[in-house]
Amino acid sequence: MSKVCELTGTTVRYGNNVSHANNRTRRRFLPNLQKKRIWIPEEGRFITVKATARALRTLDKKGYAAMMKDLASK
């Protein structure tokens, strides 16, 4: 199962754990992915997406059509 947001394309990032003694060990920062059913009024149906919490908040604010239009222009 890939850890990629289907709406924004957000994926895993890499960095370091840093201890008090400034020792560094590699780690992964995983996106906060949620599986969600979204109603698409233009098509009259639900779709299931795996999206980050941030993308779902943007979806609630803008709506599906406006969000897809913004993402296509980027």
Q: Total domain count for the chain?
A: 1
**Chain position carrying tokens 């980050």:** 52
Query: pLDDT band for position 1 (50/70/90)?
Result: low
Residue 7 lies inside a defined structural domain of this protein: no
C-alpha angle 73-2-45 in degrees, rounded to nearest 5: 60
59 lies in which domain range? Answer: 13-73
CATH number of the domain where residue 36 is located: 2.30.170.40
63 CB burial (10 A radius; 0-12, 13-18, 19+): middle
For 26-72, what is each residue's pLDDT tens digit? 999 999 999 999 999 889 999 999 999 999 999 999 988 888 888 88
Residue 2 lies inside a defined structural domain of this protein: no
For 61-70, what is each residue's pLDDT tens digit? 998 888 888 8
Residue 43 lies inside a defined structural domain of this protein: yes
